[in-house]
């Protein structure tokens, strides 16, 4: 008989779905520093719609988007959903995860109850007019990030996803490894492989901000895999060492420079001269690493306001700065004279499409990309992990929390059941 709720780590009979579940929940009254924003609560198990899949979550990945969700800034996810008619009043974050398909909705064809899956993080309406007319779903007006803009993410015993979000879990990965790469890895992959003709080619220098971060650690490997030359920016020696071990050709410690932030007014000659001196010295460090006067053909950006004037300055003539975030702020300054004369490209990039998600999963499964799991906590530590991230005090690479998996190191449902039997 199905119970109305199971303890975390207690596996229900295959396919039976309780009414309630435990989840790490954000509510508007707790908006603020992540350490205080998440609390474990009992909530209803979400309902399954057509084309959807209910997944028993074994592990969930930690990402920066739920730092923003916890803060309620720059986008109040709960208010936005309430305005659209949603009456839930709370947010369950988590935009990647790994687990077991527990129930399937009408029309689901490619996964079955019992399938072990990794979950990708973007949702869209497959029947949307723009998709029917041929748009890449990632560009659809209906796209939204699961576990951020949309509710019922992976920080819970169960989650509901669309079928196309399910990718076969590589058997060689533990649950926590399988849960931690699908957001940063695929975003970096699209940044580096999705914007023709600026895809990484053999020999291309690529500058990577936050080389030891989630995006950066995956980006260093992807650049190497496709023959490029990754140069990482970091803020301390331990992170520099980490990037070199992952394959960076060289590293630059950003603390050795002080020209960060918004560009001075271009008519302020003195301030512009100071800024240009800093940016030029930064560019020279790239030449030193490469051993020749070559500039990055691609700059992988996510820092935004603090670094983008430098990114646009050091990118090669005809090169591209590709940006997916703005951790330090949203104003992007550049001296347009350099921009047009040297014919550069500033490209926005957001997450990845289903094909790109599948390609990254295959590369991780084949051992060509390391998921870079550096820390694994449990469901009660979701707030702590996001706080570490907010404070830029997290370990290099990607982080995950165990949800129903009782301990790290388990790779499938059978071994998870065995481990639970001995707890």
Ligand X SMILES: NC(=O)c1ccc[n+]([C@@H]2O[C@H](COP(=O)([O-])OP(=O)(O)OC[C@H]3O[C@@H](n4cnc5c(N)ncnc54)[C@H](OP(=O)(O)O)[C@@H]3O)[C@@H](O)[C@H]2O)c1
| Binding residues vs ligand X (CB under 6 A) | 63-65, 183-184, 187, 209-210, 212-216, 233-235, 239, 254, 302-303, 306-307, 324-325, 327-328, 350-351, 389, 392
Nearer to ligand X, 158 or 351 (CB): 351
Residue 279: Cβ-neighbour burial (10 angstroms; 0-12, 13-18, 19+): buried
At closest approach, how far in Å is the CB of 210 from ligand X? 2
Minimum distance, C-beta of residue 28 to ligand X, in the bound complex (Å): 21
Which residues lie closer than 8 Å to 306 by C-beta, 6 or more apart? 260, 261, 328, 329
Smaller CB distance to ligand X: residue 116 or 249?
Answer: 249
CB of 64: closest distance to ligand X in angstroms? 3
State how far the Cα of 296 lies from the Cα of 319, in Å rounded to an integer: 7
Residue closer to ligand X by CB (options 104, 389) is 389
Instruction: Give the residue with the Cβ less far from ligand X, 168 or 395.
Output: 395
**Smallest separation, CB 362 to ligand X (Å):** 20
Q: Nearest distance from residue 133's CB to ligand X, in Å?
A: 24
Give the whole-angstrom CA distance, residue 138 versus residue 288.
38
* Contact status, residue 123 vs residue 150, Cβ threshold 8 Å: yes
Smallest gap, in angstroms, from Cβ of residue 234 to ligand X?
4
416 sits in which H/E element: helix 413-421
Contact call for residues 241 and 217 (beta carbons, < 8 A): no
> 327 CB contacts (<8 Å, ≥6 apart)?
64, 302, 303, 304
Q: CA-CA distance, 39 to 306, in Å (whole number)?
A: 33
Judged by beta carbon, residue 9 or residue 213, the one nearer ligand X is 213
Q: Among residues 102 and 375, whose Cβ is nearest to ligand X? A: 375
333, 307 in Cβ contact below 8 A? Answer: no
Q: How many Å apart are CA 53 and CA 103, to the nearest integer?
A: 6
Q: Are the CB atoms for 316 and 339 separated by under 8 Å?
A: no
Smallest gap from Cβ 229 to ligand X, in A, equals: 19
Distance of CA 352 to the CA centre of its chain: 10
User: Could you tell me if residue 64 is left (phi over 0), alpha (psi between -120 and 50 degrees) or otherwise beta?
Assistant: alpha
Q: In the bound complex, what is the minimum distance in angstroms from residue 244's beta carbon to ligand X? A: 13
Burial state string for 150-175 with b = 16 or more CB within 10 A and e = fewer than 16: bbbbbbbbbbbbbbbbbbebbeebbb
Question: Nearest to residue 382, comparing CAs of 9, 32, 38, 27?
Answer: 38
Taking the least distance from each CB to ligand X, the nearer of 143 and 157 is 143
10 and 16 Cβ atoms separated by less than 8 Å: no
* 283 vs 325 by CB, closer to ligand X: 325
Helices (H), 7-104: 34-37, 65-71, 77-83
Q: Which is nearer to ligand X, 100 or 233 (CB)?
A: 233
The separation between the first and the last C-alpha atoms of the chain, rounded to the nearest angstrom, is 23
Nearest approach in angstroms of CB 187 to ligand X is: 4
Shortest CB 19 distance to ligand X, Å:
34
Q: Using CB atoms, what's the residue nearest to ligand X? A: 213
**CB nearer ligand X, residue 22 or residue 181:** 181
Q: Which residues are paired to 104 by β-bridges?
A: 53
Tell me how far, at minimum, the Cβ of 68 lies from ligand X, in Å: 7
Q: CB-wise, 198 or 390, nearer to ligand X?
A: 390
Q: What is residue 156's three-state secondary structure? A: strand
């Amino acid at each position: 008989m199905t119970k109305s709720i199971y303890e975390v780590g207690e596996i229900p009979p295959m396919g039976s779905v309780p009414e309630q579940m435990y989840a790490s929940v954000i509510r508007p009254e707790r908006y603020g520093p992540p350490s205080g924003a998440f609390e474990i609560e009992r909530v209803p198990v979400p309902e399954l719609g057509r084309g959807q899949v209910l997944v028993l979550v074994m592990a969930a990945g930690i990402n920066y988007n739920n730092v923003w969700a916890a803060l309620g800034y720059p986008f109040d996810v709960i208010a936005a959903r309430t305005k659209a008619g949603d009456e839930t009043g709370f947010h369950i974050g988590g935009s990647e995860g790994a687990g077991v398909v527990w129930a399937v909705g009408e029309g689901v064809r490619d996964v079955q109850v019992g399938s072990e899956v990794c979950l990708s993080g973007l949702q869209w309406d497959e029947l949307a007019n723009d998709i029917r007319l041929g748009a890449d779903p990632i560009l659809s007006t209906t796209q939204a990030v699961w576990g951020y803009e949309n509710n019922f993410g992976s920080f819970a015993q169960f989650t509901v996803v669309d079928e196309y979000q399910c990718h076969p879990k590589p058997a060689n990965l533990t649950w926590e490894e399988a849960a931690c790469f699908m957001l940063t890895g695929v975003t970096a992959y699209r940044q580096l492989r999705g914007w023709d003709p600026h895809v990484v080619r053999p020999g291309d220098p690529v500058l990577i901000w936050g080389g030891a971060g989630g995006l950066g650690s995956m980006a260093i490997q992807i650049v190497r895999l496709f023959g490029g030359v990754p140069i990482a920016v970091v803020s301390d020696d331990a992170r520099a060492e980490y990037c070199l071990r992952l394959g960076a050709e060289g590293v630059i410690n950003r603390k050795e420079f002080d020209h960060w932030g918004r560009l001075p007014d271009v008519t302020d000659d003195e301030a512009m001269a100071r800024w240009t001196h800093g940016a030029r010295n930064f560019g020279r460090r790239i030449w030193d690493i490469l051993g020749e006067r070559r500039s990055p053909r691609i700059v992988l950006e996510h820092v935004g306001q603090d670094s983008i004037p430098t990114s646009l300055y050091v990118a090669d003539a005809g090169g591209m700065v590709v940006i997916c975030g703005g951790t330090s702020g949203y104003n992007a300054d550049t001296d347009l004279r350099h921009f047009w004369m040297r014919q550069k490209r500033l490209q926005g990039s957001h997450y990845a499409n289903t094909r790109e998600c599948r390609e990254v999963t295959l590369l991780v499964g084949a051992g060509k990309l390391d998921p870079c799991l550096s820390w694994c906590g449990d469901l009660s530590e979701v707030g702590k992990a996001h706080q570490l991230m907010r404070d830029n005090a997290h370990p290099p690479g990607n982080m995950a929390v165990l949800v129903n998996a009782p301990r790290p190191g388990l790779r499938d449902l059978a071994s998870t059941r065995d481990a639970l039997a001995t707890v």
